[in-house]
A = this chain, B = another copy of it.
Amino acid sequence: MSDEVGRAFVPGHITGFFSIHEADDPERAGSRGAGLTLSEGVTVTVEPAAETSIELNGEFAAVESGRRVLDELDETARISAETTLPLGSGFGVSGAVALGTAYAANDVFGDGRSENELVTLAHKAEVAAGTGLGDVVAQARGGIPIRLEPGGPEHNRLDGVPTRATVEYLSLGELSTAEVLSGSTNRLSRAGVDALVALVNQPTLQTFMAESNAFAERTGLLTDEVRAVIDDVHAAGGYASMAMLGETVFALDTGLSDAGYDARACKTHHAGATVLE
């Protein structure tokens, strides 16, 4: 812990399927579903300053979730976030900026809040910003999180698939979470609950991939381009699905490379968000 800056690392998070749960209180709102947290993530540095500013990979960025966290803490600071993950592509970068800002700010300002309090702050900021519903609580836990009940840590219920995986991914473009979430979501949520029930019955990586595929099909979120890549991975004997919400294909092991794609590789991450020294 330095007196000058606070730093935190937050793993990336790919959602395989989800259902939406609205509530007037953002602490109770959120999603149920399951995903993979990733060894690639976001490192957030918070440095006290007279005015709040946010940079993402060295460029000014209006990450509303991060700004809301600082406002809620009643602090002003320079937030710098660095990530190797693609932006706007379903890796939970905005959730990571919110959660990393909460952890790093608590560290540098000595606010003395608990992990649950910080996760709650970041979850509420992310929900209020409309950029995500379940990434923050998944990223606070790490591993392969199953979100059994929605909301912040005082309300939700989490479980996990007890295994590890190597993950490859390929991003074909951006997709606006806020736009999808503002459309009709009844069919989406029904498909998400069906997938969750199946995963709870058999909490394995194989079930997670199969249900993620079924969810992508049933919700009509698959674009032709994403579908073509997934089909290629399946044809090569691998497992792949679409990151929710991004125009991104993720695969287990070397599924994308085996199908001839130039993909990035990482692993599932078995710690949640952490303050860095």
Contacts and interface: CB of A to CB of B under 8 A. Distances in A.
Contacts of A130: none
B159 A114 contact: yes
Nearest to A162: B115
A161 B114 contact: yes
A74 interface: no
Given A114-B161, A116-B160, 13 more contacts: A1-B163, A103-B162, A107-B162, A113-B162, A113-B203, A114-B159, A114-B162, A114-B200, A142-B271, A153-B159, A164-B274, A164-B275, A271-B271
A202 interface: yes
Given A270-B272, A272-B270, A114 B160 contact: yes
A202 B274 CA distance: 19
Interface residues of A, number: 32
Interface of A: 1, 103, 106-107, 112-118, 142-143, 146, 153, 159-164, 200, 202-204, 270-272, 274-277
Q: Copies per complex?
A: 2
A160 to B, nearest CB: 4
A86 B270 CA distance: 25
Nearest to A207: B112
Contact of A107 (B163, B200, B270): B163
8 contacts: A106-B162, A112-B204, A113-B162, A118-B162, A143-B271, A164-B275, A164-B276, A270-B272
A162 to B, nearest CB: 5
A219 B142 CA distance: 36
A274 B269 CA distance: 10
Contacts of A163: 1, 107, 275
A202 B112 contact: yes
Contacts of A115: 143, 159-162, 203
Most chain B CB neighbours (cut-off 10 Å) among A103, A114, A200: A114
